[in-house]
Amino acid sequence: MKEEFFTNLPSHITIDILSRLSVPTILLCKSVCKPWLDLLTTQEFINHHLSNSSPGLAVFPEFLSSQLYEFKDEHNLEHHELHYNILITNLKLPLHGFISTSANGVLLWRNANIRPNALAICNPITREYIEIHSPQDFDYTYPQVVTFGFGASRVSNEHKLVRVFHDCILDQDTYRVLQIPKSECHVYTVGAGSWRRVAPPAPFVYSCHSVGAFLNGNLHWLVLDLDNKPVISCFDLETEMFRVFSAPPPHQGGGLLIDVFALGESLCVCDNSSEDEIVIWLMKEYGDEKSWRKEYVISKIEDYKGQSYEVVRPLKVFKDGDMLMACGEFSLFYSSSKTRTISRIEMFGYANSVVHTSSFLSLTSFGTENVSYF
């Protein structure tokens, strides 16, 4: 084959070929020649690569450098092994806290303990991050609640951070929320450099431990109304308006151990309130409240039966129905469709993990933001 053959290919064909390579190989291709470097930083390549990328896992072990994994649809549960490719290693983020969620290859980081208002977005592929500061007049104390979400709007594709805040008046004996006298919502469009106040949601009880699940250009929180009934609060990132979905019934009538997530292309509610099993519901048709189906019922192994104190997050369903899931912030489990039971995955140790699709989107494309590197 002549040397000029690949050089003279139309750019869209070259983009299609290069986008099929692994992330480490694409990073090496940037060093081949300047035309490839220019091509691999175009918006056309970034969008094409993202649309063809498979969701993987961003893993942030305690006290260790972080890594990105891309899972294959193969596994060996008998030996507690997953088949995967390591995309990026030795990610030493200059931040302390938790990775909360991911959208279009960009991760949302939040310090949930020491500085609960401290936020940042980062792209581990480009090794860029942007710290996002809260307004100076924003502060809160218990029993006030603040929660966040991050995603991209459907039409404009703007990346937005959403913060929901509300006051609480509690029953002094049961600590149940009796009233919500004040509720606010602020939106930060990445690139604009400031927060904006938008119309607040209905007076629902949000959880400070929950992060909005991003799906179909919307953010979703499982909340409680003042009758302690769970519903789903949905925020449209394009119109910046709230609406409400019904939620499937919780196992024991409470909302502490259930939450809403994006599982593949479906909205999912996972209920860990039973002592014996984990129940997972899927909304089969997005937006259709009548389409909730109890899709998975997973028996807990003996060591994990009894009262639970952790929310379970489904992460990935494999082709044979096996499932990867997280329990709490740091534990990973594997569910077998054959045995309908779960087992602990030790390969990552204790790690904060989120579903993440790799992207070559540079945070410098947001313009006015102060981008730092790690």
Domain containing residue 193: CATH number: 2.120.10
41 and 103 in a single domain? The answer is no
Q: Looking at the 3D structure of the chain, how many domains does it have? A: 2
Q: Which residue has the higher pLDDT, 156 or 172?
A: 156
Average pLDDT on 111-117 reads 58
Are residue 15 and residue 82 in the same domain, yes or no?
Answer: no
Q: Is pLDDT above 70 for 113? A: no
Same domain, 74 and 47: no
**1 and 66 housed in the same domain:** no
Residues 6+ apart with CB under 8 A from 18: 26, 29, 36, 39, 40, 45
Q: Which of 52, 70, 85 is the last residue of a domain?
A: 52
Q: Give tens-digit pLDDT for 261-318.
A: 999 999 999 999 888 888 999 999 999 999 999 999 888 877 667 677 788 999 988 8
- Tokens 């690139």 identify what position? 191
Final residue of a domain: which of 11, 34, 52?
52
> Which carries the bigger pLDDT value, residue 105 or residue 304?
105
204, 351: one domain: yes
CB neighbour burial string for 219-257, b if at least 16 within 10 angstroms, e if fewer: bbbbbbbeeeebbbbbbebeebebeebebbbbbeeebeb
Are residues 163 and 14 part of one domain? Answer: no
**pTM for this model (two decimals):** 0.89
Helix, strand, coil fractions of the chain, as percent rounded to 5? 15, 45, 45
Domain identity same for 43 and 171: no
Match 């509690």 to its residue by tokens.
170
Domain containing 45: what range?
1-52
φ/ψ of residue 196, rounded to 5: -125, 145
Are residues 69 and 197 both part of a single domain? yes
Domain identity same for 175 and 232: yes
111 and 37, same domain (yes or no): no
pLDDT digits over 252-265, tens only? 555 568 999 999 99
14 & 117 share domain: no
- Point out the domain boundary residue: 18, 36, 52: 52
In terms of average pLDDT, the best of 247-251, 281-285, 350-354 is 281-285
